[in-house]
Amino acid sequence: MRQEISAAGCAERIRSARRVVALTGAGISTAAGVPDFRGPGGIYTTGRYDPQATFEIDGFLRDPAPFFRFTRDVLGLVADLEPTLTHRFLVGLEAAGTLRTVITQNIDPLHQRAGSRGVIAVHGGYWTSHCLACRGRFSLDELLGLLERSPVPFCSCGGVVKPDVVLFGEPVYAMEEAVAAVAAADLLLVLGSSLAVYPAAWLPEVAECPVVVVNRGPVELAAAPDRFFADAELDPFFSEVARELGMAIPEPD
């Protein structure tokens, strides 16, 4: 039977932990205005983008234009967004020495923008790009400059510049590092993830510590003695957790 947990119960788990690891999904960023993939108004659900042409590496290699139409929408949206209360809560936990690592499935830069330092982005992100031909490296500002000049960004060598975002059919980043972080944890927080996308969804299975899952909607993780669930919006939940801990949440810069 699934064990429910309250904000007070979550706070007590955090209070007794010394090595907390957080695994975050789209739900931590939706409150900031970033659309998710699988929710009721998600990118897949609305059909605004053709999934095969836009999000699969084979489609990208055939024609990168659909992916860059999506990229323009995402980067235009994210440029003005601020990290959520839950992003900032994690920064506060890290500053207190309790949170060791954030493992994120998200490709937005909101954890970094909030001030988190120990971030493992298993699906990559837009903050770096590389040329598929010469392997030259590009910053986000350089990518934006290229996109201002052309629908598809090209390197000076003529190769397509691809953001370091993991598309379906590509290996994820730093999975061994993520597994090691979870294995060393004494508490795993899963925040805003339905745990539907592997291999990141496998991480709670390798945890040898209590797992607290806070997500609005179904989660694809079986009940177990050391697994605790809250079907809740993240920001109100962690606002209450912070109050229970007597913890001040860092203000946005």
Residue-wise pLDDT for 20-43, tens only, equals 999 999 999 988 887 665 555 555
Identify whether 138 is part of a domain. Answer: yes
**pLDDT for position 35:** 66
**pLDDT for position 96:** 95
For residues 92 and 28, membership in a common domain is answered with yes
For residues 151 and 245, membership in a common domain is answered with no
pLDDT digits (tens, 9 = 90+) for 105-131: 999 889 999 999 999 999 999 889 999
Active site residue 111: no
Q: Which of the pair, 73 or 211, is modelled with greater confidence? A: 211
**pLDDT for position 76:** 76
Mean pLDDT of the chain: 92
In which element (H, E) is residue 104 found?
Answer: strand 99-104
CATH label of the domain that carries residue 147 = 3.30.1600.10
Please state which of the ranges 64-78, 90-104, 163-177, 208-222 shows the lowest mean pLDDT.
Answer: 64-78
Of 165, 182, 198, which residue is a domain's last?
165
- On the question of pLDDT at 89 being above 90, the answer is yes
- Confidence band for 152, pLDDT divided at 50, 70 and 90: very high
**Partners of 190 in beta bridges:** 23, 213
For residues 103 and 193, membership in a common domain is answered with yes
**pLDDT for position 43:** 54
Catalytic residue of the set 87, 111, 123, 130: 123
Identify whether 40 is part of a domain. Answer: no
Identify whether 152 is part of a domain. Answer: yes
For residues 186 and 249, membership in a common domain is answered with yes
Q: Which of the pair, 98 or 79, is modelled with greater confidence? A: 98
Of 165, 192, 217, which residue is a domain's last?
165
Average pLDDT rounded to a whole number, residues 148-164: 97
- On the question of pLDDT at 44 being above 70, the answer is no
- Confidence band for 75, pLDDT divided at 50, 70 and 90: confident
Tell me, rounded to whole angstroms, the distance of Cα 17 from its chain centroid: 23
Spatial distance between the Cα atoms of 51 and 136, rounded to a whole number of angstroms: 28
Identify whether 87 is part of a domain. Answer: yes
Domain of 205 in residue numbering reads as 1-34+83-123+172-253
Identify whether 213 is part of a domain. Answer: yes
User: Would strands 161-165 and 124-131 be described as parallel, antiparallel, or unpaired?
Assistant: antiparallel
Average pLDDT rounded to a whole number, residues 161-170: 95
For residues 143 and 99, membership in a common domain is answered with no
For residues 239 and 205, membership in a common domain is answered with yes
Average pLDDT rounded to a whole number, residues 97-105: 97
pLDDT digits (tens, 9 = 90+) for 204-222: 999 999 999 999 999 999 9
- Confidence band for 145, pLDDT divided at 50, 70 and 90: very high
Radius of gyration of the chain from its Cα atoms, rounded to whole angstroms: 19
Please state the φ and ψ torsions of residue 200, each to the nearest 5 degrees: -60, -35
Specify the number of domains making up the chain: 2
For residues 153 and 240, membership in a common domain is answered with no
**pLDDT for position 54:** 86
For residues 156 and 233, membership in a common domain is answered with no
For residues 97 and 119, membership in a common domain is answered with yes
For residues 128 and 114, membership in a common domain is answered with no
Identify whether 236 is part of a domain. Answer: yes
Please state the φ and ψ torsions of residue 188, each to the nearest 5 degrees: -115, 120
- C-beta separation of 164 from 128 below 8 A: yes
Spatial distance between the Cα atoms of 175 and 182, rounded to a whole number of angstroms: 11
Identify whether 57 is part of a domain. Answer: yes
Identify whether 119 is part of a domain. Answer: yes
| Eight-class DSSP state of 2 | P
**pLDDT for position 111:** 95
- On the question of pLDDT at 81 being above 80, the answer is yes
CATH label of the domain that carries residue 119 = 3.40.50.1220
For residues 159 and 176, membership in a common domain is answered with no
Predicted TM-score (pTM) of the model is: 0.89
Average pLDDT rounded to a whole number, residues 144-150: 94
For residues 243 and 137, membership in a common domain is answered with no
- pLDDT more than 70, % of the chain: 93
